Structure 1
Amino acid sequence: MVNQSSPVGFLLLGFSEHPGLEKILFVVVLTSYFLTLVGNTLIILLSVLDPRLHSPMYFFLSNLSFLDLCFTTSFVPQMLFNLWGPKKTISFLGCSVQLFIFMSLGTTECILLTVMAFDRYVAVCKPLHYATIIHPRLCRQLTAVAWVIGLIQSIVQTPPTLRLPFCSHRQIDNFLCEVPALIRLSCADTTYNENLMAIASIFIVVVPLTLILVSYTAIAWAVLRMNSATGRRKAFGTCSSHLMVVMIFYSSVIAVYLQPKNPYAQERGKFFGLFYAVGTPSLNPLIYTLRNKEVKRAFMRLLGKERDSREN
């Protein structure tokens, strides 16, 4: 049977087939969400309050942190509610909003990471022209383009997905509303939706990742040609954190959206999706703060100012 009208809601099965795992996941997700809130908020505050971090690199980083805050907040509270109790429902409107925001912000992050790779390419390969090329106006324009592409992608993908006739059981085999899970829920022909998702994956995942790899190939070549060991270490230090974030983010995205169609891959993709949606936003601040001396120094300066104000 197929429900041709808009359903009153869905059941987010999540990890209900592993009931003993749900309480553990609740603690893990809650901890990750707390780290996401604290870490990304700290990076935004440091980027705004410390004049030494008023540079394109930290402008993009603060945008990434704001993006991660919005990204996780769009679905984690609902996920925590479903993991804690037996009720795992979400309204059709709630699912629609979650799908739209998740798709938009996920796409924006793909583009923003590409922009950040371009910034690192110019910094390492064209250092004398960096200030001329990566000027504040271009930073704002590139960031705006990333957000607009994310919005367009969501506008293109969300309506066709929500117009699908869903099976009457309304059980989404996932922990949130996303395109692949909703396509699997449909009892009609989903060839158009699958083709649309495949095309989107090429433009939003494959093309940006290719550009990032090309940028870092050029960066690696430029670093190897440097005569100064100090210069090589500095160049590596400015790029290693971003490259690590890119590897973690895209490996999990590829595992979720470019997986084969079989039950084992779908089950594995659910766990990769959890890591992509919850884990990476909490790891990003840790990677950038633990491997970035400027951020650590800015944090210590902020603490020093607070101590001075207490003493006065």
Structure 2
Amino acid sequence: MTPSHVVEKINKGEMTEDEFRIIALEFDKVVSEKARGMFKTKEKYDDYIIEYYIVETMRFFFGFPPILFYAILRDHKELRETLNLKVLKTFSNYEEFRKKLQRIKVKINNIIKRNVAEKVDEIYGLDTTVATVDLNRLRQGKKIKGGIFDASFCFDSVRGVEVGYMVCTLLNLTNFSVVDVKIYPKNKAKKEIWDEMVITNLGTESGKIKVVIADAGFFAYNNILLPLNYRIIHVIKLKKNIDREELKRMVEGILTNVRWFDSRYNRILSSLLEDFEYIIKKTVEGIDRYEEFAEMRSKIELIFKELRQCSD
């Protein structure tokens, strides 16, 4: 059965199974091509990393647990051919590799602490991909004109043949796992995506400090100021017309979370305030020295190198 959240976001609940199948297969191709471009470096363990990313992203997209995803994959020839899995072809292959990931989790955490000179517990990447589907393949082009497909998904509302959508993936780079996958109209406001993907999934009043790396398209004042009280340090490149000094003053003037002064937090209040001061400091540093601060992107590559050293 097609997950309801996918159906609702693409066409307000009126998409047929056949229509969703075409869109899902198009997305499969986008994910597969992107993964092979991101991680392929001719190392022997690349295929495992690539296919793990593909499987995790696709099963989150469909809303399936691993065992159900592989059960469907076994009976769906077109999906198998599109994904073209070589080393994680079965659920047992997937489980075996996932156990290896668990065994080296301590090594990964040590790499983060050793090579990323920041007081952070977890690092995330927020990625967006735009995919398109030609509805003429479905002989459904007229449905756009009839209002069945949400107009915000249309690339050409006059011709009414091509539907475009944006897929957003939140990836935990610390343990190489997919946190969330959502689909949006191509013109969805990045501020809303940031709130739904980052704040909702990662925002906490206490606990771990997170770093989220995202492209310049996610720059907005709210996307910088809002995470500060949720223990999140953003890494987003500033736009050229931004007054950096004014932005720094806004960050430094942000008020602490009033809820921290509730009796529930009495024992850890000093720690919360200390962490808050650190988050403010690192956010201000990021405004002035983005290129230097964003070097942690390259540090993440050490994680993948460590994974490649796993034995079969």
**What range describes the TM-score normalised by the shorter chain of this pair?**
under 0.3
Normalized per residue, which structure has more strand? 2
Structure with more relative contact order (C-alpha pairs < 8 Å, separation 6 or more) = 1
Normalized per residue, which structure has more helix? 1
Normalised to the residue count of structure 2, the TM-score between the two structures is 0.28
